Structure 1
């Protein structure tokens, strides 16, 4: 196995162009597991740990530009205000050692349906910045996932950063697993209120071949909140509306039976998580979080 170790981003892109089969490695929390269990044996590894810019972030305007190599620990400690759902999701990733090494870029590259970052990225409204020697392009995160552990990257492309809208309202993340830590999600759910645009966005993980948004549920709730003037009044959302929203979220899933849970259980869990996260986020909104943006 060849080990390629570029010194900067330009060298990394050149190496990837010359060796499209090279597997990028930064934190190594996914790649090394596959290597150790002999599930994968690439001819080349492309080590990105020397590229400092991948570990940097910029927080200005309405978006955060998160370098692909920023570890989960930094998101938890330094970006929890700007990216609350992603920070909550990051807290559920593995152990402290894994959170110190693992990255959102790695999560995207692996494209596992159970990746903890995916629901929060979908709910927040993220774009993935990818690059090659041919140039740079932006991919909306919902278009990035193309199948089970497959993504929209061309063979010569690398993930450079993720652009995520700064929270202008309450966000939540919920995950079901067999224990609180060091566990792959049975299913996960994220919800973000966007008072500035008076919309909601969802993200569901480990309940379909790819992470998905519950678009019909979003459309239903957006209409219900607008028709009832809830953004202005801050009144409690009727239980019937919350139940229908939760059911539509479950309907967006296409789960399987596996060793971690049945398809029926996953649908039920998504229903419960959707209803609960809606209650939590709307209560935070009623208490003033994001109300100014909705009234601006």
Structure 2
């Protein structure tokens, strides 16, 4: 197995075009596990840790451009006020050592249904920036996941960044696991509220992370946007039923399909309550640092 170590993005793209079978590796928190268990044996590894362009973030045109190589720890410490939902999800990833190494770009590349950042990316309406020697393009997060551990990348493309809007309302993320820390999600959930907008997404509850479109339309129509008051229990229960109905879970060693649907309903009620309380306490607007 060859080990390729580019130092610039142009060099990385050239190597990926020359060796499309090369597997990108940044933090290695997913790839090395698969190698250690002999689940894959690629012809080459493309080490992206030396590509400085991938480890930067910036703001432009009302969006945050988060480089694919920015680790979770920096998302938490540098962008916690700007991207609170993504920071919440990042705090649940593995151990401190894993958060120091793992990246949102790596989470996207692995495309696991249980990836912690996926529900937030979907609920916020994020776009994935990818590039090759042929040029660049962006892919809506909801079009990026094409199957279990499959994504919309072409063989010669690399993920270069994720574009997300800064929080302007309220964002919440929650997950259920078999223990409190360092755990793969049994199911996960994200909700984003902005004036007149609701984003709702599920993780580890279908072959791919997915948005709950009916639940989103319900919130847009039924939330008391103009006069923020505490939510009625009946509204929260109806929302939870729509969220659970959007799932297509399986039975596996972490939990049954029935348990996942039940847990998603509980997460939906709780996260919506937290998000709505945050939204109305901030007058429907959030001042981002």
Q: TM-score range by the shorter chain?
A: over 0.9
Q: Does 1:256 align with 2:250?
A: yes
| Structure 1 residue 292: Cα displacement | 7.5
How far did 1:289 drift? Answer: 5.1
Number of the residue aligned with 1:35: 35
1:177 counterpart = 2:171: no
Whether contact under 8 Å (1:92, 1:180) holds in the other structure is no
SS in 2 for 1:231: coil
Q: Is the 8 A contact 2:55 2:69 kept in 1?
A: yes
Match of 2:219 among 218, 221, 231: 221
Deviation for aligned residue 1:59: 2.5
Q: In the comparison of the two structures, how many residue pairs are matched?
A: 287
* 1-structure distance, mates of 2:282, 2:5: 49
Q: Does structure 1 retain, via aligned residues, the 8 Å contact 2:112–2:208?
A: yes
Q: CA deviation at 1:206?
A: 0.2
Q: CA deviation at 1:37?
A: 1.0
Deviation string 1:101-142 (CA, Å, 9 cap, x unpaired) is 000000000000000010111111100000001110000001
Pair 8,291 (structure 1): closer, same or farther in 2 beyond 3 Å: closer
Structure 1 segments unaligned to the other structure (5+ residues): none
Deviation for aligned residue 1:182: 1.1
Instruction: Tell me: CA distance 1:292–1:58, structure 2 relative to 1, closer, same or farther (3 Å).
Output: closer
Structure 1 runs of 4+ off > 4 angstroms? none
Q: Distance in 1 between matches of 2:266 and 2:75?
A: 27
Q: Residue 156 of structure 1 aligns with which residue?
A: 156
3-state DSSP class of the match of 2:276? helix
Aligned to 2:22: 22
Q: Report SS of the residue matched to 2:272.
A: helix
2:267 equivalent in structure 1: 273
Mapping of 1:1-296 within 5 angstroms? 1-195=1-195, 198-225=196-223, 230-288=224-282, 290-291=284-285
Contact 1:25 1:47 in 2 (8 A): yes
**Deviation for aligned residue 1:61:** 4.2
Q: Is the 8 Å Cα contact of residues 214 and 249 (structure 1) preserved in structure 2?
A: yes
Whether contact under 8 Å (1:191, 1:201) holds in the other structure is yes
Residue 237 of structure 1: how far off its partner (Å): 2.1
Q: Deviations over 1:25-65 (max 9, x none)?
A: 01100000111111111111111111001010003442110
